[in-house]
Amino acid sequence: MRILIAEDDALLRAGLTMLVEGEGIEVAAAVDNADDLIAAFEEHDVDGAVLDVRMPPSYTNEGLKAALELRHRAPGFPVLVLSAYVDDAYASRLLGDGTAGVGYLLKERVGDVAEFVAALRRVIDGGTALDPEVIAQLVSRRNADDPIRRLTPREREVLSLVAQGMGNAAIAQQLVVTEAAVGKHIGNIFSKLDLAPDDAGHRRVLATLAYLRS
């Protein structure tokens, strides 16, 4: 597995490189701006990219634009975007480009190496990794008559974990309930959101996340 890293902070860039290489993931290039990221993408054969939302020169949304550009050049190209804080407008734009192979995490999550690497591998495999705080903000923006408002607090909690890419067993462990209980909650979620109850795996994640887009 080979990736690109784009982060303007030299220490964090070096730290990310050491972290992923320590987990057996090769870093083909680690750059500090969006233009060099695009150039590295054209030069190297890679499986995905980890990048900061804010990079030079304006430190606004250069990273987001670069992520969208990479996915324009290679549809479905896996990107894991890191941000110092939640910006649901940026998250919505990224999700609007399609949810396959997309991640949006707060930088503080990088401190949990196992969690971060698991999220990165999930994104590269075509899955989704959304920060719980991002999901919470996206859900809070829904209109009062949106189907997602039909969900109970527990069902929203399950939905959030599904959106983070967790399977039923992991959700059951997280909530300290049985897998059967999780399955029942997910069945209720599908029913209330008018989703096919027999959807499973990655299709389930994509269908559910469709309701979290702005």
pLDDT at position 126: 87
Same fold, 2-131 and 142-212: no
Q: What is the CA radius of gyration of the chain?
A: 17
* Whole-structure pTM value: 0.73
CA-to-CA distance for 50 and 65, rounded, in angstroms?
A: 13
- Record the tokens describing residue 82, joined without a space: 């890191």
DSSP sequence for 88-153: HHHHHHHHHT-STTEEEEEGGGGGSHHHHHHHHHHHHTT-EEE-HHHHHHHHHTS-TTSGGGGS-H
CATH superfamily of 2-131: Response regulator (3.40.50.2300)
pLDDT at position 209: 59
Q: Could you tell me if 83 and 108 are in contact, meaning their C-beta atoms sit under 8 angstroms apart?
A: no
- CATH of 142-212, picked from 1.10.510.10, 2.60.40.420, 3.40.309.10, 1.10.10.10, is 1.10.10.10
Residue ranges covered by each domain of the chain: 2-131, 142-212
pLDDT at position 48: 97
pLDDT at position 163: 75
pLDDT, averaged in runs of 10, over the chain (214 residues): 95 94 96 96 97 87 90 92 77 69 86 89 87 71 69 86 82 93 88 64 55 52
- Residues near 135 by beta carbon (within 8 Å), at least 6 away in sequence: 160, 163, 164, 212
pLDDT at position 207: 55
8-26 pLDDT per residue, tens? 999 999 999 999 999 999 9
pLDDT at position 199: 47
pLDDT at position 214: 37
pLDDT at position 180: 94
List helix spans (H) across 126-178.
Answer: 132-140, 153-163, 168-175
